[in-house]
Amino acid sequence: MNAEQLRQYCLNKPAVTESFPFDEDTLVFKVAGKIFALVNLKGDLRVNLKCDPEKAVTLREHYPEVQPGYHMNKRHWNTVFLESLLDDDLVKTWIDDAYGLVVAGLPKNIRQKIENEPFDI
């Protein structure tokens, strides 16, 4: 998966925005103002993804491309190195999980708006 494919996949999710709040090399994806993914665009292509703490440990144990979140809370974030042989569908599943975790933590009225928002696939 390259950076543009990852970007398009994230932006196709309901209520997702992108920005560069930290620097010009870190693309951030948010849903309802909450970060679920950060993509490093300089150097090795990698993405930080929010993750359930137990699942985060399991993924790190099974995939050498998955490391504790770089510059993030290592309990809740993983860094995934994308210039590896990881299957794109697997990475998409992890993006879905990150997005879902953030949406699940939003207030009910915001979750309902997101669920009812029309969007293009």
Domain 3-116 CATH (choose: 3.90.1150.30, 1.10.300.10, 1.20.150.20, 3.40.1440.60): 3.90.1150.30
Quick one: how far is CA 112 from the chain centroid? 21
pLDDT number for residue 74: 87
Q: What share of the chain is helix, strand, coil (3-state, %, to 5)?
A: 35, 25, 40
- pLDDT recorded at residue 118: 59
Q: Is residue 38 within 8 Å of residue 31, measured between CB atoms?
A: no
Residue 70 is predicted with a pLDDT of 83
Paired tokens of 25:
């090399």
Per-residue pLDDT of the chain (121 residues; tens, 9 = 90+): 899 999 999 999 999 999 999 999 999 999 999 999 999 999 889 999 999 999 999 999 999 999 998 888 888 999 999 987 889 999 999 999 999 999 999 999 999 888 887 543 3
pLDDT for the residue 116: 81
Q: Which helix (H) or strand (E) holds 9?
A: helix 3-11
Tell me if 105 sits within 8 A of 33, measured CB to CB.
no
Q: Give which of 53, 48, 28, 120 is closest to 91, Cα–Cα.
A: 48
